[in-house]
Amino acid sequence: MRVRTPRPEDASGLAAVHIETWQHAYEGIFPEEFLLGLDLEGRRRWFEARIEKNGGDLLVAEAGAGPVGFCLFGDSGDQGWGEVYAIYVHPQHWGGGHGSALLSGAERALSHLGFEHALLWVLEQNHQAREFYEKRGWVLGRPIRIEEIGETQVTEVRYERVLTEALR
């Protein structure tokens, strides 16, 4: 396993990781029709454009022949705060350390960009992800937000991390 910056040929693999992880992790949270209807080709094009534009805010976890996970990060818009926008690891690779490696890589990168704090949003009902973050030193913050995704209203909770603590 290794974490690296993305390459153009990763777009298809990253799209598959994203779609399949959503279908597995959010089963029971979103309707089955919505999850089965996620657009693989559209996601591939999105990753292709993102990598072409600026792959520096995207880390890829690789095992064997290709990507098994990814993490997107950058400026949160809250002054002085970085954000982990997304972190996904293919369900077949859960528990293999890929998520931890991606999260650590994003924390280091955000710190190097000058952020002292970071935040991330996670679905309130995604207990597995929440436990993952809490075991890695992220703490539940105060704000919540209500989002509508695929005609389903969900609550997201905010987790926070002091990056200097993450780098010890």
Rounded to an integer, what distance in angstroms lies between the CA atom of residue 107 and that of residue 117?
A: 9
Q: Coil, strand or helix: which one is 64?
A: coil
Rounded to an integer, what distance in angstroms lies between the CA atom of residue 22 and that of residue 36?
A: 10
Rounded to an integer, what distance in angstroms lies between the CA atom of residue 91 and that of residue 122?
A: 17
pLDDT tens digits, one per residue of 74-107: 999 888 899 999 999 999 999 999 999 999 999 9
**Is beta strand 81-89 parallel, antiparallel or unpaired with respect to 117-123?**
parallel
Q: Tell me the pLDDT of the chain (168 aa) as tens digits.
A: 899 999 999 999 999 999 999 999 999 999 999 999 999 999 999 999 999 887 679 999 998 888 999 999 999 988 889 999 999 999 999 999 999 999 999 999 999 999 999 999 999 999 999 999 999 999 999 889 999 999 899 999 999 999 987 666
Q: Which two tokens stand for residue 102?
A: 């991606």
Nearest partner of 60 among 50, 51, 70, judged by Cα = 70
Q: Where are the alpha helices (DSSP H) in the chain?
A: 11-25, 32-36, 40-54, 98-112, 127-135, 163-166
How large is the greatest C-alpha to C-alpha distance in the chain, in angstroms?
Answer: 44
Nearest partner of 166 among 114, 111, 119, 91, judged by Cα = 111
Q: Coil, strand or helix: which one is 131?
A: helix
CATH fold label, 2-120: Aminopeptidase (3.40.630)
